[in-house]
Amino acid sequence: MPVPVLDFSRQYAEIGPEMMAAVERVFSTQHYILGEPVADFEREAAAACAAKFGIGCASGTDALWLAMASAGIGAGDAVVTTPFTFFATVSSILRAGAKPVLADIDPASFNLDASHVETILASEPSPRLRAVLPVHLYGHTVEWDRYEDLRQRFGVLLIEDAAQAFGAAWDGRPVGSLGDAAAFSFYPTKNLSACGDAGMVTTSDATLAERAQMLRAHGMRRRYYHDEIGWNSRLDTIQAAVLLVKLAYVDRWNERRRRLAANYDRLFRTLGVAEAGKIYPGSGVVLPTCHPRATHVYHQYVIRVRKRDQLRQFLSERKIGSEIYYPVPLHQQECLKFLGYKQGDLPESERAAAEVLALPIYPELRQDEQQTVVNAIAAFLG
């Protein structure tokens, strides 16, 4: 039987009636823009993140821009981030008017390497380096204590890219409450997902929150009075209604993802194809890591393997889904060549892009389907 990389129909079968009822309530009230479900979701989602304020917006991409713009990051500033992430992380820095400065990743976690960030901050002491934008990639929290240390030593702002990590935590502190602000995406593939584009900024800074609310609505504090040039980036009321339904389930869904990840680990080890204690693949598979102080939500279960592209084709022929996050590091993207990076500048990101493969993982995935996936990979590896 096919094993899809993601199957929306299974979640809908579980909570479809609740979602439809929530959407029907929006139609019955006729409040389509910033209706009551938006305020309710902002309050409840912020509380789940242990943040004081949640500001809903139109997408995760807008949330990244909104978080930076609200924190005062703009022309003449620079922001340090990772090249091994979705395009929006860097494009949002550019949209804010700032310059992206790229540091390499830790090869075990794939997250931004704080040591590389420290080297950049120490070698270029300048007020231009205003912020660091770490990404909690695949749902695995960065080593936050190291970023707190950088904030104390260099006076930088910390903006979390938490697009893939709703419910993740560091030492029990939820992402979304760690930095000066955080950006979430609720794109349909995320572990907390809308039925279209949606995003949110979280913060405990009242001034930043108020400015974010203003910027998302054309720079208005009062209707038709524009204090700044903002943007039209309001969270749609229908999407907020759907997200409110799903918010009640996300903790149990995340726990299910952790159990599925543990089962993948067990299956790979049982078949003898896991590369024990290795960072880079040899003849087998390098499994995902999780820092002992982090709470991982396994938005993706990502392995490292040689001959990745051949393996993906092998799985596709057997109707087993997979995905590559991400095949081209951002410093090698055609439209970002003007940043001035060249092949070899960020070697860990470049190597990861050639070896990573995301396997099916979602709360409704069955263990027999996981066995099918692992058996196929073991067969490919011989």
- Asked whether the beta carbons of 305 and 353 are under 8 A apart, the reply is no
Percent of the chain's residues with pLDDT above 90: 98
Domain with CATH 3.90.1150.10 in the chain: 250-381
Residue 131 is predicted with a pLDDT of 98
Domain with CATH 3.40.640.10 in the chain: 8-247
Residues 6+ apart with CB under 8 A from 169: 141, 175, 294, 295
Q: pLDDT, tens digit, for every residue of 81-91? A: 999 999 999 99
Q: Which fold has domain 8-247?
A: Aspartate Aminotransferase; domain 2 (3.40.640)
Say if residue 125's pLDDT is above 70.
Answer: no
Q: pLDDT, tens digit, for every residue of 221-254? A: 999 999 999 999 999 999 999 999 999 999 999 9
Count of alpha carbons within 13 Å of 109, Cβ hemisphere only?
A: 22
Residues 6+ apart with CB under 8 A from 268: 274, 285, 287, 374, 377
Cα–Cα distances in Å, from 23 out to 40, 43, 56, 189, 259? 14, 19, 17, 20, 31
Cα–Cα distances in Å, from 101 out to 86, 127, 280, 298, 357? 15, 14, 26, 27, 26
Quote the tokens at residue 288: 């995902």
CATH number for the domain formed by residue range(s) 250-381: 3.90.1150.10
Q: Is 98 helix (H, G, I), strand (E, B) or coil?
A: coil
Say if residue 331's pLDDT is above 90.
Answer: yes
Q: pLDDT, tens digit, for every residue of 258-273? A: 999 999 999 999 999 9
Count of alpha carbons within 13 Å of 260, Cβ hemisphere only?
A: 25
Q: What angle do CA 276, 278, 281 make, to 5 degrees?
A: 100
- Asked whether the beta carbons of 140 and 159 are under 8 A apart, the reply is no
Q: For helices 206-215 and 60-70, what crossing angle results, to 10°? A: 120
Residue 94 is predicted with a pLDDT of 98
Average pLDDT, the chain: 97
Q: pLDDT, tens digit, for every residue of 347-382? A: 999 999 999 999 999 999 999 999 999 999 999 999
pLDDT (average), residues 105-115: 98
Residue 276 is predicted with a pLDDT of 87
Label residues 317-343 b or e (16+ Cβ within 10 Å = b). Answer: eeebbbbbbbebbbbbbeebeebebee
Count of alpha carbons within 13 Å of 262, Cβ hemisphere only?
A: 8
Q: What is the 3-state secondary structure (H, E, C) of 52-96?
A: CEEEEECCHHHHHHHHHHHCCCCCCCEEEECCCCCCHHHHHHHHC
Say if residue 73's pLDDT is above 80.
Answer: yes
Distance of CA 186 to the CA centre of its chain: 10
Burial class (CB in 10 A: 0-12, 13-18, 19+), 373: buried
Residue 79 is predicted with a pLDDT of 98
pLDDT (average), residues 64-80: 97
pLDDT band with cut points at 50, 70 and 90 for residue 141: very high
Residue 9 is predicted with a pLDDT of 97
**C-alpha to C-alpha distance for 84 and 82, rounded to whole angstroms:** 5
pTM over 0.85: yes
Say if residue 113's pLDDT is above 90.
Answer: yes
Residue 184 is predicted with a pLDDT of 98
Q: pLDDT, tens digit, for every residue of 274-325? A: 998 899 999 999 999 999 999 999 999 999 999 999 999 999 999 999 999 9
Residue tagged 């040039």 (tokens):
229
Q: Is 186 helix (H, G, I), strand (E, B) or coil?
A: coil
Residues 6+ apart with CB under 8 A from 350: 329, 332, 343, 344
Q: pLDDT, tens digit, for every residue of 193-230? A: 999 999 999 999 999 999 999 999 999 999 999 999 99
Residue tagged 């231009």 (tokens):
128
Query: In sequence order, what are the beta bridge partners of 3?
Result: 320
Omega before 341 cis (within 30°)? no
Q: Is 1 helix (H, G, I), strand (E, B) or coil?
A: coil
DSSP 8-state assignment for residue 191: S
pLDDT band with cut points at 50, 70 and 90 for residue 1: confident
Q: pLDDT, tens digit, for every residue of 17-69? A: 999 999 999 999 999 999 999 999 999 999 999 999 999 999 999 999 999 99
Q: Is 119 helix (H, G, I), strand (E, B) or coil?
A: helix
Lowest mean pLDDT across 24-28, 126-130, 327-331: 126-130
